[in-house]
Chain A
């Protein structure tokens, strides 16, 4: 042989040989097929992960500023979803109007919960606040059950008939990215950027950072701590309304416990990414969704949760503050 064959030459020669072409074509087709499968599982994972990320943004923001775990966040999501279900699903309102109304309802609810249940405990040990948050979570679930019964409702997708957002077809329609996934990821990125801008470049955002860093010192410097924390809850709850509408659009069963499990997963995502960090919540959420779905697809549908939490434990062992968490140096 007088010249070294390139890979494409080898391929061409093999294809021109009748003995090999069939076999090679089959191998290639298999490879394409499995790559497609993998991509579709990956996209399902990103879709689930973006919902976790959206919920985790609310968790991480409240934790970063108020230094408390608002376990009722998942249930605010559920209440928001019911508002959208009735206004958009039953009365046929414009989805944007329905979501805005739901954001208003959730904001009021979030601020009210903070005022009634958390503010009186501001100086109490953090364990007391944690238990109160769990109590609020159950209260909201039971109230929802009384108001709307526990019968599951099938949630109509808010982007199903949208003229702007269409499902994306890739590779001649072999791969479809649903409109819900696109909207959830976009919403997640927009909200993340807006939050980062708000916190770093506005007076109210600076006040939040100050409260987050040292509540006592911030108060001495003239920052209204109560108002700042109320604002944090307002924003977190408004985000919950958006998350609820998108969660139920992708996974359409709505009942009073709908928010509970995604809420806990999102909390895990927030810890995974580094609780208190806004980009961390996004990263943690998406990674959690992808790991969960790929382990379902390739390892075991039964063990996927175990694998997710195993990864979490490993990450926290190596990096206790989470992927993007800040290391806090305590000066003595």
Chain B
């Protein structure tokens, strides 16, 4: 009973805090913008433009930290490049940690609003994005998430856009690709039933696989509370005779599955989505186990086109590590906004709400070329369309699958 009461009190407190945030928002935003324009008056006097304040949210600590850090670095790199190229401050950038936690993400959003943010490039992960997206709709704040792929995120409102594929889209494209290339006849699936990302891909995949005549022989799941032992799930796939195991999960659990499969000598083709990106970077993981692993992922640092190579070398120079897909998505986010600055549709003197309306109009009409694909377009519902890319792990690196 005590637990119940304390939980109720705690949630009431959180709600009231959130409510404070939203009611006070319009005032604080405008106050911050006016305060800010005073502060940057000198800067504007010399170059005649007010910087646009971009905010970012993502987990730089916690279980999903590698995604958040990559996004932060990708966004920072793009901002620095643009500012240096323009010769004046086009963008001011501030990034807040949310530890992949919905509540902390809301706090981060409110902090950024107090700072005077005019457009949000985040959050990085789906669950926090869902809660923040609701607030951005109330505030009419433009939200472009680099990597939160749950379809519910864009469905929250018409001000919410995605740089990455939606989860269902990844599932559909994966099933199409597997069917088209004949990668497997008996498909096993291991997914995380406690995770929106994994469920979203799995549901769409299962539907599309049936439509394409693929036989899903078994679909087994685990939950975030029950994932220390995944050997039974692997055994179920082996028992069902699956020759391709689809893993719409994050790389951490995927590495455990690869190890468990290796222990029992089970060698199907493993096929993952963008959450698999990062599996080669796990400290202590024997990457030879990932040999032959395929993943659907819009970006690879090994791609040879000019845009990618320019980005990869700049990123490596700045952070001394190879960028993952999340960094590329984040980098593209900033450049997509910059395209709207260059064609004159937005400037730093606009309020967050006016900028949101301008960006909405721009995103639904423009075609953007970035590191994660040529000819990217956005539908009015906020989802992105771009050609899929599939990679296969060969000799410990991604190679484009033919």
Contacts and interface: CB of A to CB of B under 8 A. Distances in A.
25 contacts: A37-B239, A41-B232, A44-B235, A48-B228, A48-B229, A149-B65, A150-B62, A151-B65, A154-B255, A154-B286, A156-B284, A176-B264, A178-B263, A251-B228, A253-B256, A292-B229, A293-B229, A296-B232, A297-B235, A301-B221, A301-B222, A301-B232, A302-B193, A302-B223, A304-B226
A40 B265 CA distance: 14
Nearest to A251: B228
Given A155-B284, A252-B259, A40 B235 contact: yes
A97 interface: no
Nearest to B59: A150
B233 A255 contact: no
A85 interface: yes
Given A176-B264, A293-B232, A297-B236, A305 B284 contact: no
Contacts of A261: 225-228
A254 B252 CA distance: 10
Contacts of A145: 61-62
A230 interface: no
A152 B66 CA distance: 10
A-B pairs, top 5 by smallest CB distance, nearest first, are A154-B285, A154-B284, A301-B220, A153-B283, A251-B228
Nearest to A308: B226
A255 B223 CA distance: 17
Contacts of A154: 255, 259, 282-286
B222 A251 contact: no
Interface residues of B, number: 34
Interface in B189-237: 193, 220-223, 225-229, 231-233, 235-236
B23 interface: no
A89 interface: yes
B229 A44 contact: yes
A257 interface: yes
Contacts of B66: 151
B78 to A, nearest CB: 24
Contacts of A301: 193, 220-222, 232-233, 236
A150 B256 CA distance: 17
Given A145-B62, A255-B63, A301-B221, A152 B231 contact: no
B61 A152 contact: no
Nearest to A155: B284
Nearest to B286: A154
Contacts, number: 93
B223 A44 contact: no
Interface string A151-165: 111111000000000
Nearest to B234: A44
Given A149-B61, A253-B228, A257-B63, 11 more contacts: A44-B232, A151-B281, A151-B283, A154-B286, A252-B256, A253-B252, A253-B256, A255-B63, A261-B227, A292-B226, A302-B223
Interface centre among A150, A156, A247 (most CB of B within 10 A): A150
Interface string A280-297: 000000000000110011
Interface string B279-293: 001111110000000
Contacts of B62: 145, 150
A152 B282 contact: yes
Contacts of A58: none
Max count, chain B CB within 10 A of own CB: residue among A44, A89, A155, A257: A44
A262 interface: yes
A44 B221 CA distance: 17
- Chain B CB count within 10 A is highest, among A149, A255, A301, A305, for A301
Contacts of A251: 228-229, 256
Interface string B229-262: 1011101100100000000000011011001000
